[in-house]
Amino acid sequence: MGGEANGARAVSIFFRIAVLGLSVAAAVVMGTANQVFPWDFVVSFTKYNAFVYFVVATVVAAVCSAAALYLSVFKATPRWVVTLLDIVTMGLLFSAAGAVFAVRALAPSYFAVEGTAIATHFVKGGFCHVADAFCWRVTTSATICAFAAGAASVAVLAKDARSGAGGKQ
């Protein structure tokens, strides 16, 4: 029984470290999502509230994940504190990834409202052909965030398996 608990703890810690790294990576990739066009037009993540929320949420999730990792390793608090941090981390990561996946297809609508000369081309589906670097970063960051959310789920499940195996938190 002790071996199972130690194995589950190792899996939980591994995935907590993965969540931390993936959350930071997702925030950095989205934070660098911008593209300048030859006709003096810039597209940036800061033009979309959902993308700004994504950066803030992934940074806060990384902080919560780091705190949960520290508290799990050193067992410095009651179990419910780590559980609360896990819930906040998962909620932020799942909502951030969902927000970006939901609005990334709507990005051209912003330009139609802004009234640029190229807006008609953007709205008709050519946006990611023109803003390919921006689209790539947005999609990549959302995918990384989705993997971070999955890793957070596995870390929680491994923590719960350890608790069910008779190990102490």
Q: What is the pLDDT of residues 24-78, one digit of tens each?
A: 999 999 999 888 876 667 778 888 888 999 999 999 999 999 999 999 888 777 8
Is 121 contained in some domain? yes
118 belongs to a structural domain: yes
In this predicted model, which residue has the larger pLDDT, 104 or 126? 104
Does 55 reside within a domain? Answer: yes
> Are the beta carbons of 97 and 53 closer than 8 angstroms?
no
- Please give the tally of structural domains in the chain: 1
Catalogue the E-assigned strands of 38-99: 41-44
Tell me the residue range of the domain where 18 lies. 2-164
**Would 6 be classed as within a structural domain?**
yes
User: How far is the CA of 134 from the CAs of 26, 107, 123, 129, in angstroms?
Assistant: 14, 10, 16, 10
Q: Kindly state whether residue 169 falls inside one of the protein's structural domains.
A: no
pLDDT at 161 over 90: no
pLDDT value at position 150?
A: 95
pLDDT digits (tens, 9 = 90+) for 84-101: 999 999 999 999 999 988
pTM for the full model? 0.81
Q: Which two tokens stand for residue 133?
A: 């670097």
pLDDT for 109 equals 59
Q: Report yes or no on 57 lying in a domain.
A: yes
